[in-house]
Amino acid sequence: MAKRDMDALTGLAREIVGLADAKNVSLGTAESCTGGMVSAVLTSVPGASEVFKGAVVSYANEVKVSLLGVRSESLLKEGAVSERVALEMVQGARKALFADYAVSITGVAGPGGGSARKPVGTVWIAVANKREERALLHRFTGTREQIRLGATEAALQKLLLFVQDTVR
């Protein structure tokens, strides 16, 4: 990861951690295609331990089901890279991690694994608190690393905006 990329991500993470601390709320993540990058960036910020509860890196579907409570039916009907699964992942992360706010990421980072319906770069990001949840579809281009970095940045941006705009 280029220093420039890491600096941008760390700046977002500092804002999120500071805001969560000021609002006295906690955070958690559920990550698939980013493999823990979001939680790694958040925990690189001094003081993150005051607000960050933890992460579930649910690369395998059985982990999504067993640890996050994603329904097998959702995976079978819509696939791991879907709005429904992103929402179930974020709900599961909030519950499993006892977090006030959570973000989830599920996608196709490539270079393989894509399809006509869900090409490489397709990523769903969901955010939730106890009152509301939102899921957003993203289409990233580039290498596997560029897609993962793009998804990490987008997830941090969505989490920041969500914590800014909502009350616990």
Instruction: List pLDDT tens digits, range 97-147.
Output: 999 999 999 999 999 999 999 999 999 999 999 999 999 999 999 999 999
Non-local CB neighbours of 146 within 8 Å, separated by 6+ positions: 140
Q: Give residue 168's pLDDT band: very low, low, confident or very high (50, 70, 90).
A: very low
pLDDT digits (tens, 9 = 90+) for 63-78: 999 999 999 999 999 9
Question: What is the value of pTM for the model shown?
Answer: 0.96
DSSP 121: T
Cis peptide before 111 (omega within 30 of 0): yes
**Domain range 3-165, CATH class:** alpha beta
Domains in the chain: boundaries: 3-165
The full length of the chain comes to 168
DSSP 55: E
| Predicted pLDDT at 124 | 98
Which uninterrupted H or E stretch holds 133?
strand 133-139
